[in-house]
Chain A
Amino acid sequence: MPPSSASYIEGLSAVAESVISDRLSRRKTRHLRERFIEFILFSAAAFSVFVTLGIVYVLVSESVVFFRQVSVWDFLTDTQWTPLFDDAHYGIMVLLSGTLVSSGVALAVAVPLGTIIAIYLSEFAPFSVREVAKPLLELLSGVPTVVYGYFALLFVTPLLQALIPGLPGFNLLSAGLVMGIMIIPYVASVSEDAMRAVPMSMREGSYAMGATRFQTATRVVTPAALSGITAAYILGISRAVGETMILAIAAGMQPNLTWNPTEPAATITSFIVQVALGDLPHGSIGYQTIFAAGLTLMLMTLAFNVLGHVLTRRFRQAY
């Protein structure tokens, strides 16, 4: 028996109280710490929104200054692009034609090759081929664009010159072809994902009716995955439109309103590179043109991306 049980109990409860208050305060600090960490993580996620806002702010604010001096109508309809001359003309059509022609050539390569590769990998290829082909495509998309540019200018162009006599050293064709090779992995992997998302039961149903692999692939799987495949094409277009270095190196940088891929021409992106390589003072009209060009580019790719994602979402909801 302790000498005085009352004081003993009192002592115990004092200990308990201090333990409890200690626990409570620790829980409080723990809670505060948790909230603080959550806030930091949230800021990191929200930061990405500020990046977009920053892009929009920079492009729009510089373009507004630009469009105060050049009317939007002239910008869209003028057929000359000579922003650095005394007699300055700002017709974006000139750059746009280069962008569209080179993208067209690139898609003419990437769409058929990418689709066939996707169908082959998803429906035909044995496991061992897939295991080799997928990393190969990934490596292909990992090649720096400046290396592709070198390849277009110093390997593909001489090759094409042997086939097409009189082809100039800089041309949209070779840049577009190489760009197409560069885009194949994107088109192939997004289309293949769409095809693999088609449920197995649909294929089995088709086989049960006596269809062959080819018939199943072209008449069941491809139509079922069509919106996903379209999304892949659109993402490919957006890549092609935004591609810079291959065109800056292999297509020449002189503005040229043309629809002929065998001619040299500047694109929106290669014009920005050309201006940035020179020494334009901050705030001059020449400096602002690259932001107006950038805004045009941004709006184009944004439209394509939104369309692509809408289509991707639709195919995901289908099953």
Chain B
Amino acid sequence: MDQAALGEIRDLINRHKRWDLIFAAVGLLCLGIAALTFTALVIDMALDGAPRLSADFFTNFPSRRPAQAGILSAWVGSTLVMLVTAAAAIPVGVSAAVYLEEYAPKNLLTAIIEINITNLAGVPSIVYGLLALGLFVYAFGFGQSILSAGLTLGLLILPVVIVATREAIRSIPSAIREAAYAVGATKWGTTWDHVLPYSLPGIMTGVIIGMARAIGETAPIITIGALSFIAFLPPAPIQGEFPFLSFEWLMAPFTVMPIQMFNWTSRPEAAFHQNAAAAGLVLLLMTLSMNALAIYIRYQLRKRIKW
């Protein structure tokens, strides 16, 4: 081959290879835009909100005077709602996933359940709010209470918990189950003593991601009619006298962190926007640390377990 032709081919290859570099740069740029937006969001929130973060902010009720307003009723409300959500979503979600992975026969009914769960995952959260408004608030008579809100969010994160649990269970090799059956264990014995404990980290990841999503959900809770100005706490769950435990708080009116933030954001005064930023910062720290925890658990899992 003569030198000219060779040079031409080299040129051609180099020209095409240049596109590799250009695209890699564009790809990094796009990732950079996403990262930059995320950073801008966090920094903006931190700059606006950090001056308002003090012990008082956590121990004060909302107030008409922005400088004295706090998030006491909001974080207490969020915590209690999350308790109900976890109590509703974890047992139902994990049981459903165990059934689908370990028990379900391959038939039409199972297929319907599976398609249904995939579709539920795509239903907009505000539609869950409408479901709860029609069903929990009015038909069941739970009212605009912590119970209604917790159950609503429980339904909302159910698909997340189910999908994560199924994935965790599926990753356990069948040799583990066969070993248990070989020494005479029943199906449930195998599931309870082996399958569930080994898939626990995976299930935890799913539950944490689901809870992180639930704690930031605003639309469905607004839809069931939660109030945004609550200057009292629900009755304490633990009482001084017999029977010590009280479930009155389930029926109490409440507010949650994202609603408090929404309320402050939609006011015109800049001072309330600072409160909104501070509340947003707390909310962001909570959800991001939960997500980070989930990512960490998954990372550890991937590193440690080699079946």
Contact = CB atoms under 8 A, between A and B. Distances in A.
Interface of A: 30, 33-34, 37-38, 40-42, 44-49, 51-52, 54-55, 58-59, 61-62, 113, 116-117, 119-121, 124-125, 129, 133, 135-140, 142-151, 153-155, 181, 184, 212-215, 217, 235, 238, 241-245, 248-249, 269, 272-273, 276-277, 282, 290-291, 294, 297-298, 301-302, 304-306, 308-309
Contacts of B28: 120, 129
A246 to B, nearest CB: 10
Contact of B92 (A44, A120, A124, A272): A44
B217 A144 contact: yes
Contacts of B129: 272, 276
Contacts of B216: 142-147
Contacts of B23: 119-120, 124, 213-214, 217
A310 to B, nearest CB: 11
B183 interface: no
Contact of B27 (A38, A116, A243): A116
A52 B119 contact: yes
Given A146-B216, A242-B124, 4 more contacts: A51-B155, A120-B23, A121-B27, A304-B122
A45 B100 contact: yes
Majority DSSP secondary structure for residues of A touching B: helix
Contact of B266 (A30, A37, A241, A249): A249
Given A139-B288, A146-B218, A242 B127 contact: yes
Interface string B4-20: 00000000010011011
B27 A117 contact: yes
Interface in B253-299: 258, 261-262, 265-266, 273, 276-277, 280, 283-284, 287-288, 290-292, 295
B245 interface: no
B34 A142 contact: no
B126 A120 contact: no
B171 interface: no
A184 B36 CA distance: 13
A302 to B, nearest CB: 7
B127 A298 contact: yes
30 contacts: A38-B99, A38-B187, A41-B96, A44-B95, A45-B100, A46-B113, A49-B112, A54-B131, A120-B24, A124-B23, A124-B27, A136-B31, A142-B213, A144-B216, A145-B219, A146-B265, A146-B283, A148-B41, A149-B262, A150-B276, A181-B34, A214-B23, A242-B125, A245-B218, A245-B262, A272-B130, A276-B225, A282-B138, A298-B123, A305-B119
A133 B35 CA distance: 9
Interface of B: 13, 16-17, 19-20, 22-24, 26-28, 30-31, 33-35, 37-38, 40-41, 44-45, 48, 91-93, 95-96, 98-100, 103-104, 112-113, 115-120, 122-131, 133-135, 138, 155, 158-159, 162, 186-188, 209, 212-213, 215-219, 222-225, 258, 261-262, 265-266, 273, 276-277, 280, 283-284, 287-288, 290-292, 295
Contacts of B24: 120, 124
Contacts of B187: 34, 38
Contact of A135 (B103, B127, B224, B295): B295
A218 to B, nearest CB: 8
Contacts of A297: 124, 126-127
B27 A125 contact: yes
Contact of B96 (A45, A119, A235, A242): A45
A144 B291 contact: no
Nearest to A216: B20
A150 B45 contact: yes
A250 to B, nearest CB: 9
Contact of A58 (B41, B45, B135, B290): B135
Nearest to A154: B273
Contact of B127 (A34, A147, A243, A294): A294
Contact of B158 (A51, A61, A212, A217): A51
Given A58-B130, A145-B216, A276-B222, A47 B41 contact: no
A55 B126 contact: no
Contacts of B295: 135, 138
A177 to B, nearest CB: 9
B135 to A, nearest CB: 6
Closest 3 CB pairs between A and B?
A242-B124, A144-B216, A120-B27
Given A143-B41, A147-B280, A244 B30 contact: no
Contacts of B116: 48-49, 52
Contacts of A135: 292, 295
A54 B19 CA distance: 53
Contacts of A272: 126, 129-130, 219, 223
B218 A55 contact: no
Nearest to A291: B130
A139 B38 contact: yes
Contacts of A121: 27
B134 A58 contact: yes
Contacts of A155: 40-41, 44
A133 to B, nearest CB: 6
Contact of A147 (B113, B131, B273, B283): B283
B131 A301 contact: no
B34 A113 contact: yes
Given A120-B27, A235-B122, A245-B218, A144 B287 contact: yes
B287 A143 contact: yes
Contact of A137 (B16, B34, B155, B262): B34
